[in-house]
Amino acid sequence: MHKQIIDNFISRYNLNGEIESVKIQSDDKSMNVNFISDDKTLLGTVSSKSGEFPNGEYGIYTTSQLKSLLGVLQTSVKIESADAYIKFSDTNTSVNYMLADLSVIPVVPPLKTLPDFDVEISLDDEFTSKFIKSKGALSESDTFTFECKDGNGKIILGYSTLNTNRISINVDCKCNSDVQPISFSARYLKEILSSNRGAKSGNLKISSKGLAHIGFKTDEIESEYYLVELK
């Protein structure tokens, strides 16, 4: 199998090191992972139509270590599993990754009934590049803020009721009504956008009740993320 399939799957939940410990579930038709951040303000799920892991459940405690091990292999790899480890090999090299007991993997709580989303924003490559550059320019900004007035939506980094350095990005959005400023993690959104570059479709939905949903789809992978409002 192509190692790139595994790399793409991992990058969409690992988010450049933000999520380390997960349980990967695999069957003949798909791979799935649910995850939650240490601060409990981000949770999500990634699923792949390619079930490249052997059937079963796998406790991955340190994803960064798994990525490093995969990095020494060629593009085509074979995967085998044992009770305590999972083995990846190419034509002349093999690596063993020791599995964690599932009891030490963070439990992802089921989502309760989702609120109605007041806003929907399409996420394209132009927005992705602009947001990532904006976050780099205002690296100290921990949050991004959305507001909508008279049908005009903006995403703002550096938002404050006082005068501050800030970047405002006009977005093409569907808003049911005016939305008062509401803030979420800019760091997580940056990594979500970076990890899903090239997706065929993506959107950001926001509820004034304090929840944001980000979703992406490719031919092989579907990823969903939920951000909790930061106050």
Tell me which H or E stretch contains 3: helix 3-14
Range of the domain at 185: 119-228
CB 20 within 8 A of CB 14: yes
Classify residue 117 by its DSSP letter: P
If asked whether residues 215 and 125 sit together in one domain, one would say yes
Q: Is position 111 within any domain?
A: no
Q: What is the CATH number of the domain that holds 124?
A: 3.70.10.10
Q: Taking 70 as the threshold, does the pLDDT of residue 51 lie above it?
A: no
Average pLDDT over residues 66-90: 94
In the chain, how many domains are there?
2
pLDDT tens for each residue of 185-201: 999 999 999 999 988 88
Q: Is position 109 within any domain?
A: no
Average pLDDT over residues 142-146: 96
Q: Is position 33 within any domain?
A: yes
More confident residue, 113 or 100: 100
Q: Which pTM value belongs to this model?
A: 0.94
Q: Is position 69 within any domain?
A: yes
- Residue in the block written with tokens 């951000």: 227
Last residue of a domain, one of 54, 70, 104: 104
